[in-house]
Amino acid sequence: MDHAAGHVEIPYTVSPRPDTGLYNGKLGIWLFLASEVMLFGALFSSLILIRTGSPSWPHGWEELHVVPATINTFVLIMSSVTVVLAWANLRLGNFKLGRIFIGVTLLCGLVFMGIKAYEYSLSFAHGHYPSTSDFFAIYFTMTGLHGLHVLGGMIVFAYFLGPGSKMWHTDRARFTNRIEIVGLYWHFVDLVWIFLFPTLYLL
């Protein structure tokens, strides 16, 4: 694909445009994250509207499993640290270490998804499904959508760990930028969880 688009050279793909101080991908990911804020913002607003309109609302900690979710919170925060380390090492030209940290981040995502699946299975075992109540409906919808975002990030990390890493040898700066961009996305996904965890489990 790259060689196909390569005939037309798009400026500022790698180096920042002087007057805006941004390269294209970085502006792009910030705009994308702005739209993601609107997506999750709409869901949080829905949660507030349904909850305030409901005569009774269960305590999250009585219905859900706080311990695995707490572990998951730490796993996700850890992964946000490792993704920065990956980028920092690549910036320093340390490809080997950078790659290891990409791998660790991917592993954190995997652990998160595993624990999430375990939590879901516990809920199902208790006979709690999305159709059970509005609380479980919003719980499964929001954590499910968040899970899809984690999965999306993991696919991107897996790509950069595998076939995507070839770019390091041809275009070092661009590869580093790509890790920065997926890192920004990963922080956002992390941040969504930071909001989801107290709202659903602790309130």
Partner 1 sequence: MAQKRQIRIGDQYLYARDAEKALREALRVAEAEEREHAAHQEPWIRRYVFSTDHKWIGIQYGVTALSFLLFGFCLMILMRLQLGWPGQAFSVMKVLGENRAPGGVLLPEAYNQLGAMHGTIMVFLAIVPLAVGAFGNYLVPLQIGAPDMAFPKLNMASYWCYLPGGLIMLSSFALKDGTAASGWTSYPPLSDIATRGQTFWLVGMIFLITSSLLGSVNFIVTIVQLRAKGMNFMRLPFFVWAQFVTSFLLLLAFPPLEAAAVLQLMDRVAHTSFFLPSGLVVSGTPLTVAGGGNPLLWQHLFWFLAHPEVYVLILPAMGIVAEVIANNTRKPLWGYRSMVSATIFLGFMSFVVWAHHMFLTGMGTIISSFFQTTTMIISIPSVIILSALFLSLWGGSIRFTTPMMFALAFLPMFGIGGLTGLPLGLAATDIHLHDTYYVIGHFHYVVAPGTIFAMFAGIYYWFPKITGRKLNDFWGRVHFWGSFVCINGIFFPMFIQGLAGISRRLYDGGMQYAHAREVASQTNPFMSMSAIGLLIFQIPFIVNFFWNAFQAMRGKVTVGSNPWEATTLDWAATSSPPLRHGNFEVMPIVRRGPYEYNSPEATNADYLPQNAVVEQPAPVLAPPTAPVVA
Whole-number minimum distance, CB 85 to partner 1, in Å?
A: 28
Q: Which is nearer to partner 1, 85 or 119 (CB)?
A: 119
Which 8-state DSSP code applies to residue 162? T
Q: Which is nearer to partner 1, 75 or 156 (CB)?
A: 156
Whole-number minimum distance, CB 43 to partner 1, in Å?
A: 5
Which 8-state DSSP code applies to residue 203? -
The Cα–Cα gap between 35 and 50 comes to: 23
In Å, what is the CA distance from 53 to each residue of 10, 47, 48, 130, 199?
51, 10, 8, 19, 16
Whole-number minimum distance, CB 139 to partner 1, in Å?
A: 10
Q: Which two tokens stand for residue 100?
A: 């290891």
Give DSSP secondary structure letters for 4-47.
HHTTSPPTTSSSPPTTT---HHHHHHHHHHHHHHHHHHHHHHHH
Whole-number minimum distance, CB 19 to partner 1, in Å?
A: 9
Binding site for partner 1 (CB under 8 A): 1, 3-5, 7-12, 17, 20, 22-24, 27-28, 31-32, 34-36, 38-43, 46, 49-50, 53-54, 129-134, 137-138, 140-141, 145
Q: Which is nearer to partner 1, 38 or 71 (CB)?
A: 38
